[in-house]
């Protein structure tokens, strides 16, 4: 089972996304900010970091950069309503995917599935 670390500061969105991903078979650990996600990344192995970009304390881009430094094989997907502004500076994690809010849950699940299928084809699991 693939493990996903979800960092999303909006509680209802975090719970909604975690439930949807768990329902289709992913193991999800959800936190409300990057500073809570970082120790989890240091302590355990995750297959995907699913993170909002705009969060208090540590934004998703900084979190993704630190996650990639800890585990270069981790997949990263950003979920945000501020994609164009946040990514203009070119601050992004290697090979990160981006899903702009609002989105349908089926689109999120499809994108997550696609990330794992693509990686599987290249033998990176």
In a structure prediction context, what are the per-residue pLDDT tens digits for the chain, which is 125 residues long? 899 999 999 999 999 999 999 999 999 999 999 999 999 999 999 999 999 988 888 988 899 999 999 999 999 998 877 655 555 455 555 567 878 878 888 988 999 999 888 654 444 44
Q: Is 121 exposed, middle or buried (0-12, 13-18, 19+ CB in 10 A)?
A: exposed
Q: For residues 74 and 47, is the Cβ–Cβ distance under 8 A?
A: yes
- Residue written as tokens 């990686």? 119
The kind and range of the H/E element at 5 are strand 3-7
Q: For residues 33 and 58, is the Cβ–Cβ distance under 8 A?
A: yes
Distance CA 69, CA 108 (A): 25
Mapping DSSP to helix (H, G, I), strand (E, B) and coil, where does residue 125 land? coil
What is the arrangement of strands in the sheet containing 3-7, beginning at the earlier edge strand?
27-31, 3-7, 48-52, 75-80, 97-100
Distance CA 98, CA 24 (A): 20
Per-residue pLDDT at 56: 87
pLDDT single digits (tens) 91-115: 555 567 878 878 888 988 999 999 8
């Amino acid at each position: 089972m693939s493990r996903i670390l979800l960092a999303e500061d909006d509680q209802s969105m975090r719970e909604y996304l975690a439930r949807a991903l768990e329902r289709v078979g992913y193991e999800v650990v959800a936190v409300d900010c990057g500073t809570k996600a970082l120790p989890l990344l240091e302590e355990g192995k995750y297959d995907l970091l699913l993170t909002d970009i705009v969060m208090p304390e540590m934004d998703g881009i900084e979190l993704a950069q630190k996650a990639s430094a800890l585990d270069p094989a981790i997949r990263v997907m950003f979920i945000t309503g501020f994609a164009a502004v946040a990514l203009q500076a070119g601050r992004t994690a290697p090979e990160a995917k981006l899903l702009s809010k609002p989105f349908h849950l089926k689109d999120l699940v499809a994108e997550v599935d696609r990330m794992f299928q693509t990686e599987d084809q290249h033998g990176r699991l």
